[in-house]
């Protein structure tokens, strides 16, 4: 959530930053409501002060022996009742103003960082670096991962439709074992990097999704259990960040690093026709997520470190990748700055996203009311939150099936994964 005070005091700055995203965001309704609310609050404060004066005056007169039924006392009581009536009318009006302001604020995305490249869409994202050119395969007859997976009997899409619907998959035999090995490998690497593992609920409430920015904007992307006010988690970013919702932390507790494996669920609304085959865009997929809660002073460096934590997985697997910095027009709703990590898929001859690492500044901290207190200082500050995939499991498997595919139709298992498995080759 954006800072209402910043919008009030520097609306042109906020408009400029929002305009960089390329969408029309109108601050006028928020500013108008804020002005009305503050005027009403001023009136209510004045009335409350007058009510207190009247109460005090009546008390003094009674203490001084004035007859409670005297005109001067009854006149004060009548005025006091009128003031109380006015206050009773103003209080719900003020609550309505505040609720509407918050509703509008929740619809505004985060402000892009100064260093985020300005651009209209993904075509203007900036490539930062590439890794693994020596492992990059081009111009070879490599089957798409879904074809080799079905030939090997480890991916079953047809029966998944019977169980659920399209965009689900059954992992069979060594396919299930490979998925499990990847989860364990990634969790081991991230815990070695300093992240504390959590196994959170995958059913989460509306307040949690609101706290991280998935609601209200992306309701159509999520699966809801409406009778229970619970949703299937779209990413472990949500429960990990909301572990600390409505809490005030001590500065000594920061930074907080967490990682988690969860299944993730997304409707992929608006994406039909894209990646209809394979593991790239499923309604249910597994992912290891990294989340950081940090001081504003360190969040810039923490993002760079998080990207290294994610790319270290790909380097260990010897999978070629590139790092892209997202421009303002392609930036996620809650992000101020974001890097996408894209892995090489030789069958398509291009890189595909496998991780997105974002610095959200205090945007989620403000929405979820996560603050910290510095020793010896008054007041509190909102934490900065960061999140990133470390990594998406299905997309990693698809990259292994293609990059490690052999001419005889088998697929080698990356060396670092072999200790997690009792086989070194996928074969029929």
pLDDT tens-digit profile of 7-19? 999 999 999 999 9
- Mean pLDDT along residues 305-320: 98
Q: What would the CATH number be for the domain defined by 4-106?
A: 1.10.287.40
Tokens of 244: 């600390």
Which is more confidently placed, 138 or 398?
A: 398
Q: Is the full-model pTM beyond 0.85?
A: yes
- Mean pLDDT along residues 45-55: 92
Residue 108 has pLDDT above 90, yes or no: yes
- The burial of 364, by beta-carbon neighbours within 10 Å (0-12 exposed, 13-18 middle, 19 or more buried), is given as buried
The mean pLDDT value of the chain amounts to 95
Give me the residue spans of the domains in the chain: 4-106, 122-426
Within this chain, domains 4-106 and 122-426 share the same CATH topology: no
CA distance 264 to 282: 9
Those residues whose C-beta lies under 8 Å from the C-beta of residue 186, and which sit 6 or more positions away, are 261, 288, 313, 390, 391, 393
Q: What is the pLDDT of residue 276?
A: 75
Over residues 333-356, the pLDDT tens digits come to 999 999 999 999 999 999 999 999
CA distance 400 to 408: 16
Residue 107 has pLDDT above 90, yes or no: yes
Best mean pLDDT range from 55-64, 261-270, 327-336: 327-336
Answer yes or no: are the C-beta atoms of 312 and 355 closer than 8 Å: no
The percentage of residues in the chain with a pLDDT greater than 90, rounded to a whole number, is 90
Catalytic residues: 266, 281, 353, 356, 395
Q: What is the pLDDT of residue 127?
A: 98
Over residues 353-365, the pLDDT tens digits come to 999 999 999 999 9
Q: What is the pLDDT of residue 428?
A: 87
At the topology level, CATH places domain 122-426 in BirA Bifunctional Protein; domain 2 (3.30.930)
Q: What is the pLDDT of residue 272?
A: 62
- Mean pLDDT along residues 231-255: 98
- The burial of 237, by beta-carbon neighbours within 10 Å (0-12 exposed, 13-18 middle, 19 or more buried), is given as buried
Q: What is the pLDDT of residue 270?
A: 60
Answer yes or no: are the C-beta atoms of 173 and 156 closer than 8 Å: no
Answer yes or no: are the C-beta atoms of 370 and 382 closer than 8 Å: yes
pLDDT band at 213 (very low <50, low <70, confident <90, very high): very high
């Amino acid at each position: 959530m954006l800072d209402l005070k910043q919008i009030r005091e520097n609306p042109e700055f906020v408009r400029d930053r929002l305009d960089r995203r390329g969408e029309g965001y109108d601050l006028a309704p928020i500013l108008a409501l804020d002005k009305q609310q503050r005027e009403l609050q001023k009136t209510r404060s004045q009335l409350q002060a007058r009510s207190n004066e009247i109460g005090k005056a009546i008390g003094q007169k009674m203490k001084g022996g004035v007859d409670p039924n005297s005109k001067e006392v009854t006149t004060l009581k009548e005025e006091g009742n009128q003031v109380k009536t006015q206050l009773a009318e103003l209080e719900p009006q003020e609550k309505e103003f505040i609720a509407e302001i918050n509703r509008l604020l929740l619809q505004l995305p985060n402000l892009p960082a100064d260093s985020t490249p300005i651009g209209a869409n993904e075509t203007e994202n900036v490539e930062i670096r590439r890794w693994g050119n020596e492992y990059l395969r081009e111009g070879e007859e490599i089957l798409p991962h879904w074809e080799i997976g079905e030939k090997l009997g480890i991916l079953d899409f047809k029966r998944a439709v019977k169980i659920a619907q399209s965009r689900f998959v059954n992992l069979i035999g060594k396919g299930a074992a490979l998925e499990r090995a990847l989860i364990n490998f990634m969790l081991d690497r991230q815990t070695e990097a300093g992240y504390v593992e959590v196994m959170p609920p995958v059913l989460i409430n509306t307040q949690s999704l609101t706290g991280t920015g998935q609601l209200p904007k992306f309701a159509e992307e999520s699966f809801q259990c409406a009778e229970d006010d619970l949703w299937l988690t779209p990413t472990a970013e949500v429960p990990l960040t909301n572990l600390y919702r409505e809490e005030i932390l001590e500065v000594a507790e920061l930074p907080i690093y967490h990682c988690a494996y969860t299944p993730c669920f997304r409707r992929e609304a608006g994406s039909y026709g894209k990646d209809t085959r394979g593991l790239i865009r499923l309604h249910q997929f597994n992912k290891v997520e990294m989340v950081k809660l940090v001081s504003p002073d360190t969040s810039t460096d923490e993002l760079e470190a998080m990207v290294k934590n994610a790319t270290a997985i790909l380097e260990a697997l010897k999978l070629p990748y590139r790092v892209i910095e997202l421009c303002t027009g392609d930036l996620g709703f809650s992000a101020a700055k974001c890097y996408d990590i894209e892995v090489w898929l030789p069958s398509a001859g291009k890189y595909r996203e496998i991780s997105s690492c974002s610095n959200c500044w205090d945007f989620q901290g403000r929405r979820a009311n996560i603050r910290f207190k510095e020793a010896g200082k008054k007041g509190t500050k909102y934490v900065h939150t960061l999140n990133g995939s470390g990594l998406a499991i299905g997309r990693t498997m698809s990259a292994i099936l293609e990059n490690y595919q052999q001419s005889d139709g088998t697929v080698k298992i990356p060396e670092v994964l072999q200790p997690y498995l009792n086989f070194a080759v996928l074969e029929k």
